[in-house]
Structure 1
Amino acid sequence: MTLTDLFDDETIPLLRRLGERRRGDHTPVNEEARRQVLAALTESEKSTVEVLRAAELMGAALYQSPFLDTVAAAEIFSLSPGRTVALALREKGTDNPATPAPISVRDGRVTAVRRFVAFASEVDDLLVVGGNTAALVAVRQPGVRTSRQDDIGRGDLHTVEIQDAAAQVRDVTADYPGVLARARTRHAAYLAGSAKAAIRLTADHLKERKAFGQPLAKNTALAYRLAALYAEAEAVLALIGTEPSPATGAQAMLLAGAVARQSAEEAVHLHGAYGMTERSDAQVFYRRAAVDAQWYGTATDLRAELLTALGG
């Protein structure tokens, strides 16, 4: 199955709502459906370009998956075929993933607390990074406890408490900056894909919504606003086509986060009151952008990193 077959016009609206859970809803998600899509994504080895394209298509569908986390983990540890991994980088919500809080490691056993970990209850392993150390921790073992957190994006985030759990451990002093930079570029592709999809959703709506006897799509001011955002999303994709570095990774995340948020805001605004209802996908883009845009660092964090990288 090709990526375009997996993420086509019929499946994308279904994937967009897959796994969405409202506040207080702790019923299991459709894990089987998510596994099927994940299996299709991982059925063959993909080049860097193909992974970036997959990330863009996932963003268009707002598809939540451990696929990109698993790709990042595979750059540090050798993974068995079919194993899935979730990145566990934050001890607190305000933490910057570029400088994750230390973890306790003793005789190959790890103790740590990590919050806002996606798919922690579904994956096989957690990649816990702290200080200069990375640990690959199997989820289903004594000493690992996960509890789901509610979030505005209605995703699948968890708090993970690890107490003296067995793990593979290695020093990542030299490797982690590059791993993070590449993870950021993949996530930037995801955000650019979501921005372009929000713009297309809005453009289609404006063709149907009329004012003063004609479709709003004929309003050039609105068309120019959407075209400008689309161009910004394409610029992000052009940027991540270059060889990633800590500076370009941070820059890509900063720009992609901004265009994803702005595109989602325009989607809700131009859909009118309908855009804020549960029936509209505009509000889904808005919710997801609020979380996804700062997944690998807030705008403040990213600007500070760029300033340091540029010698400021």
Structure 2
Amino acid sequence: MSTTKSFPKNALRFIFGLGCITAVSCITPQNSNAQSTEVTKVTFQKDKYNRIFIPVKIDKDSMSLLFGTYSKPLRLAPYFQSTRALTPSWDILTLTAPNGKPHDRLLFYSPKITVGNLKFRSEQAIVNYAFPDSLITGSTGTEMVYRYNWKINNDHNEISISKLPFTPAEAFTTINYKNDSYPKVAVEIEGVKTFFALDFGSGACFQLNSRSDLGRRLIATYKLKPVKRIISDIHARKLADTIYEVKIPSLLFNGIELTQQKVQLSSAFPQNIVGTGFLGDYNVILNNSRKRKIGNTVILEKRLAK
């Protein structure tokens, strides 16, 4: 015979009722937090390319993270590996090099990251050797960004972070994209329509691979010559990169005609990118939904200073 069954019926009713009250009191605050309207505001710094650097606390170190929206996992400098702040997850992430060859990277779990009063725990991260420890400690990825909604005020260098979506005051254009992906937009140049990733971690305006069909077409049409050749370590330890630049008289961005847009062609960059050279001219809202049927949106708003 169990101990519970040996209790008198009145005692059992009392215990059951007390348990229900306790359960309700425990559940209610959680639901309140899930619908919290609290907004966290953080002042950020920008470089000359309009890239955003968010002040964070990683474990016990006060540092900054580049706000990036292309890479899926968090990227951190080798410093955190040397201090053993990273915990191996033993999962492998396969990346594609600019030459098309796949290469595997070990995924780690990050230490606690604090942004304002928000805490991000055990984010998946890879070690990125392109980040000099003295200049930058890492960059956010879509997994970290998708946990909240973000409003970027480039007029006042302030990011607002909330669980609830933000409502634009005056939208210039709204870009819809699927969950579990980086934000991307349809761009049409010289009659060729393709997709560009919206990456706040890049300082370019519009950037595409010079070896792509569109890249070769632009080089031939505008008779482009290389403006510089550099050794890049952004996507590999050491990689030669040839850069071309051209101003396109007219292109379509999410169906909107834009004139005199600077396009950079790179032999090393594997993906078409719209960076902060263009996005920094707008205030931006990133509303992220975890419901696959709803999807996510990037909303560009006109800046006060523009």
Normalising by structure 1, we get a TM-score of 0.24
Structure ranking higher on relative contact order (CA contacts 8 Å, 6+ apart): 2
